[in-house]
Amino acid sequence: MPYFDAASSAPLHPVARQALLAALDEGWADPTRLYREGRRARLLLDAARETAAEAVGCRPDELVFTPSGTRALHDGIAGALAGRRRIGRHLVVSAVEHSAVLHAGAALEAAGGTVTEVPVGRTGRIAPADWAAALRPDTALAALQSANHEVGTRQPVAEAAAACREAGVPLLVDAAQSLGWGPVEEGWSLLTASAHKWGGPPGVGLLAVRKGTRFALPGPADERENGRAPGYPDIPAVVAAAASLRAVRAEAAAEDARLRVLVDHVRERVAQLVPDVEVVGDPVHRLPHLVTFSCLYVDGETLLHALDRAGFSVSSGSSCTSSTLEPSHVLRAMGVLSEGNVRVSLPRGTTAAEVDAFLTALPGIVAGVREQLGAPTGASAAVSPAGEELVVDSLGKRCPIPVIELAKVIGDVPVGGLVTVLSDDEAARLDIPAWCGMRGHEYVGERAAERGVAYTVRRRA
Amino acid sequence: MPYFDAASSAPLHPVARQALLAALDEGWADPTRLYREGRRARLLLDAARETAAEAVGCRPDELVFTPSGTRALHDGIAGALAGRRRIGRHLVVSAVEHSAVLHAGAALEAAGGTVTEVPVGRTGRIAPADWAAALRPDTALAALQSANHEVGTRQPVAEAAAACREAGVPLLVDAAQSLGWGPVEEGWSLLTASAHKWGGPPGVGLLAVRKGTRFALPGPADERENGRAPGYPDIPAVVAAAASLRAVRAEAAAEDARLRVLVDHVRERVAQLVPDVEVVGDPVHRLPHLVTFSCLYVDGETLLHALDRAGFSVSSGSSCTSSTLEPSHVLRAMGVLSEGNVRVSLPRGTTAAEVDAFLTALPGIVAGVREQLGAPTGASAAVSPAGEELVVDSLGKRCPIPVIELAKVIGDVPVGGLVTVLSDDEAARLDIPAWCGMRGHEYVGERAAERGVAYTVRRRA
């Protein structure tokens, strides 16, 4: 039963399990205590910090363990902002950062600060020039992920770091998705990561703060972890996190090469096997194990359930799979199709046979969902008699129905004619332009309607 | 090798270990995902929440899991304060709360709010009338521990809750030390706890917020745990925490009765076996497994090391065992001796033989430390010729030396005569008056000196 959602959480690495069990016996006591059980716990904690620091590429006293990657981001950003409050209260982020970063930005705005979101291109990468232009004299911090969690695109961290250095702005790199594959390029001031993404246990994040970086964690003081991570440390989990990080790093080069081939195969074959599919993310600057694609005329939730019944565990950035009914902010920032979105992220050890089984099953499953939804097939209906504008009322209908209804009637207007779709579904704003791009039609624009939004398309082919 | 520091961290309960191992296999995936691994993780998380809620005495949807007891306190207090910001920014706490509560209070003060610390008596209990008197129209929150972590004294929670209810102030009860022994008395609005205190794993705190309590966690938003505990949940640890809480509760009545006898025995025998010892904490309203005493003329750190060498792991609130070189705020608030302080907290399963071994070893170890420090023995020196005031210069000397030097010269002045000790050690402020109480002398008072503080004592016996 292949599990293809390593980017959400990787199965526990055998080394992590082994280390966790050993440390449960040796590392349960309070490491600040003077007696033998406390000293043993302290030794384990110190050793884990050295191991993790070596993998991160920092000094042990620059690294603390947090309860999660999210807490590392929240506290890392809050601490860096507070440390430079006198400089200003401006934060620079990319538009495709993890929601923990964007939420930290929203909290800053609510408190009177400002945030600049640097846009990304269609493959999800920022342009270093845009990054440099966003830095201001009052910029307290810039935050950039090393690689994206939804589409796998790697960011030009070294260039962004150079721009930050020149502007005197500390750079926080969110390395949650990449740290298991290798160290982050030089130039960062703060770095965060999350152990369960590389096969470590849940309950452990990393926060590294380079010496010389101004940092002042707001909130109640606490002596643990150099004052940067309040609360009793989870030493067994920390030991397991460090041991598994070293283990996956030792296997990283070989596994990177192997999974890269499998993902390239998926990228190529999905586009051949499934009609009306868009493979997204950067084909070159990318994580080795992750590929994302979107399928026209497909309901993401139904697709996920069908794949799950067939034994494949994947995730999706489609609006119907989020609690807010909005498509993923990453896909939106990239301007790519969000309906029928599927993220495949291969855990270490995934075999070619498992990937082939997925590629064999996928076309039939997508076709089945499309049939269920009444998606258009092949040739369009007869050409409409007159050149008037067609209006399709899709109000109250959810993704992918508005796009399906648009596709069904586009043949009813002559080339050059207009179709307007009325929709109150947030996904339409992203998916109707994306459909136009994939189909070679012209997206004219949107305007507010009496209810919902009117999206207008000109038939070009 | 008896470990007698369960109040810092209890050894992992066998049920916790078993549950953790099982949940590592079943609960590693993201519980918000739609596929089978995610659904399995969700089921485990939901079941753990139901189990823990039953033990707490609340609804499952009132309870969230935090990464530690400290985070539960920090976030519980911050959320409750923010939820009632329009009412006011006044916080009421007892003077013997856990440092996480006092630090949260300090953070409130730094942000412009105010804190009232309700004093405690010599046994560490608040007076309900003092508590009620501290509540004001602008009080946003009151926080009271169910039982003290250093001396084991239980607080009159029901009376405090009644006063809070009458004043319309929500009460947060820090149940970190008591939850494994039984539910907290009725009347709380928020409750916190920490799993590693009852034999659960590290990495899990509990935060319960009663329906109808205003609560708004400041900081970046996060969808996990009802928006009250950001970050990826540690489901294996949460499952282990809930299972072990149920297990220790099933054993609680029998173990309470058994350990209570052992602790009563320690309370009685220590006072008989060790000269110049003060057993502190409430003898009746107390945790079953915890006893604390202080030994005159003893350096706490040396004593702890000597006990450790003899195979006994205990902790101490003496100034020399804290990083700040200040005695425990709990002992200070109680006004009891802090030098040579020893906390014995018995883990479940402790045998009478282990306790007897401790009682057999202790007198010799204390005597050894006293001899090393040149503590006074038995009768005092010859009476001094004149009635003038004696001044002892203990500047630059740390606890327990100032008290030892005082004790050595008190016989040099006649009854009614004065001895003044010059000291720059914070512990002297607590321990010189405590010594007077134990010895039957009069503590006249303190005044600032050219260097340090001058503490004056009148010989009475």
Cβ contacts (< 8 Å) between B201 and chain A: which residues?
24, 234, 236
Residue B424 contacts A where some CB pair is shorter than 8 Å: no
Quick check: B380 pLDDT over 70? no
Are the beta carbons of B301 and A71 separated by less than 8 Å? Answer: no
Q: Are A242 and A49 in contact (CB under 8 A)?
A: yes
* CB spacing of B74 vs A219 below 8 angstroms: yes
Nearest neighbour of A196 by CB, restricted to B8, B223, B232: B232
pLDDT at B378: 55
Chain B residues 34-53 with a CB less than 8 Å from chain A? 34-38
CA distance A444 to chain B (A): 36
What does B156-199 look like in DSSP terms, one character per residue? Answer: -HHHHHHHHHHHT--EEEE-TTTGGG-PPPS--SEEEEEGGGTT
> Which letter, b or e, does each residue of A63-93 get, where b requires 16 or more Cβ atoms within 10 Å of its Cβ?
bbbbbbbbbbbbbbbbbbbbbbeebbbbbbb
Q: Which of A28, A32, A228 to mutate to test the interface with B (most CBs of B within 10 A)?
A: A28
Among the ranges given (A41-45, B87-91, B374-378), the one the predictor scored with the smallest mean pLDDT? B374-378
Q: In the predicted model, what is the mean pLDDT of residues A198-217?
A: 97
- Whether chain A has a CB inside 8 Å of the CB on B396: the answer is no
**Of A58, A164, A295, A320, which residue is the catalytic one?**
A320
Given an 8 Å threshold on Cβ–Cβ distance, is B100 in contact with A220? yes
Across chain A, mean pLDDT equals: 95
In the stretch 301-320 of chain A, residues with CB closer than 8 A to chain B read 301, 304-305, 307-308, 312-315
ipTM: 0.93
- DSSP H helical ranges for A85-127: 99-110
Q: Collapsing DSSP states into helix, strand and coil, what is residue B293?
A: strand
Residue with tokens 């705020």: B329
Calculate mean pLDDT across residues A428-432.
95
Query: Quick one: pLDDT at residue B383?
Result: 44
CATH (residue range A390-458): 3.30.110.40
pLDDT at residue B268, rounded to an integer: 97
Q: For the segment B403-447, what is each residue's pLDDT rounded down to a tens digit?
A: 999 999 999 999 999 999 999 999 999 999 999 999 999 999 999
Q: What is the pLDDT of residue B381?
A: 43
pLDDT at A376: 85
Q: Please report, for residues A241, A275, B55, the alpha-carbon distance to residue A438 in angstroms, rounded to integers and kept in the order given.
A: 43, 11, 57
- Write out the two tokens for A158: 């070294």
Q: Could you give the CA distance from residue A133 to residue A121 in angstroms, rounded to a whole number?
A: 16
Dihedral angle over CA of A320, A323, A329, A331, nearest 10: -20
From chain B, the residues in CB contact with A1 under 8 A are 36
Domain-wise residue ranges, chain A = 14-248, 252-373, 390-458
Catalytic residue among B58, B164, B320, B399: B320
For the cut 50, the answer to whether the pLDDT of residue A384 exceeds it is no
* Residue given tokens 């191991």 in the structure block: A51
Cβ distance B203 to A323 less than 8 Å, yes or no, reads no
Q: Residues A218-245: what's their mean pLDDT?
A: 95
* Contacts with A17 from chain B: Cβ below 8 Å: 24
Average pLDDT value for residue range B106-113: 97
CATH number for the segment(s) B252-373: 3.90.1150.10
Closest-approach residue (CA) in chain A for B22: A17
Per-residue exposure over B256-269, b if at least 16 CB sit within 10 Å of its own CB, e if not: bebbeebbeebbeb
Contacts of A8 in chain B (CB under 8 A): 29-30, 33, 38
- Is the Cβ–Cβ distance between A304 and A375 less than 8 Å? no
Report the phi/psi class of residue B414: left, alpha or beta, with left for phi > 0 and alpha for psi in -120 to 50: beta
A320 belongs to the catalytic site: yes
Q: Report strand pairing: B442-448 vs B453-458.
A: antiparallel
Could A5 and B235 be called an inter-chain contact, meaning their C-beta atoms sit closer than 8 Å?
no
Mean pLDDT of A7-19: 97
Q: CA B318, CA B340: separation in Å to the nearest integer?
A: 6
CA distance B92 to A304: 51
Three-class DSSP category at A315: strand
Which of B12, B24, B73, B77 to mutate to test binding with chain A, by most A CBs within 10 Å of its CB? Answer: B24
Q: Is the domain B14-248 a CATH 3.40.50.880 member?
A: no
What's the mean pLDDT in B383-389?
57
Q: Which residue of B has its CA nearest to A323?
A: B223
Q: Give the pLDDT confidence of B323-358 residue by residue, as tens digits.
A: 888 899 999 999 999 999 999 999 999 999 999 999
Best probe of the A interface among B13, B20, B33, B198, by most A CBs < 10 A, is B33
Q: Which of B3, B12, B70 sits opposite A231 (nearest CB)?
A: B70
Residue A84 is predicted with a pLDDT of 97
* pLDDT classification of B109: cutoffs 50, 70, 90: very high
Asked if B449 and B420 count as a contact pair (C-beta separation under 8 A), the reply is no
For the stretch B72-88, pLDDT in tens is: 999 999 999 999 999 99
- Residue A383: per-residue pLDDT: 44
Pick the residue from chain B with its C-alpha nearest to A38. B313
Per-residue pLDDT reduced to its tens digit, B28-63: 999 999 999 999 999 999 999 999 999 999 999 999
Assess whether pLDDT exceeds 80 at residue B27. yes
What number of other Cβ atoms are within 10 A of residue A379's Cβ? 7
- Chain A contact for B69 (CB, 8 A cutoff): yes
B315 and A233 within 8 Å at the Cβ level: the answer is no
Contact A219 B107 (CB under 8 A): yes
Q: Do B202 and A237 touch (CB under 8 A)?
A: yes
Dihedrals phi, psi of A225, to nearest 5 degrees: 50, 50
Residues of B in contact with A308 (CB under 8 A): 34-36
pLDDT digits (tens, 9 = 90+) for A86-114: 999 999 999 999 999 999 999 999 999 99
Judging contacts by C-beta atoms under 8 Å, the chain B residues touching residue A3 are 29, 35, 37
CA atoms of A452 and A449, how far apart (whole Å) = 6
Q: What is the mean pLDDT of residues B169-194?
A: 98
**Residue A378: predicted pLDDT:** 55
Query: pLDDT: is B367 or A318 the higher one?
Result: B367
Inter-chain CB proximity B232 and A68 less than 8 Å: yes
Q: Which of B78, B202, B221 sits opposite A233 (nearest CB)?
A: B202
Across the interface, whether the CB atoms of A201 and B234 are under 8 A apart is answered yes
Residue A159 has pLDDT above 80, yes or no: yes
What SS3 class is residue B295? Answer: strand
A234 contacts chain B (CB < 8 A) = yes
Rounded to whole angstroms, the Cα distance separating B318 from B237 reads 33
Q: Do A222 and B70 touch (CB under 8 A)?
A: yes
What pLDDT does B387 receive?
Answer: 55
Quick check: B221 and B227 in contact, CB under 8 A?
yes
- Cα(A66)–Cα(A73) distance, rounded to whole angstroms? 10
Tokens encoding B233:
């949940």
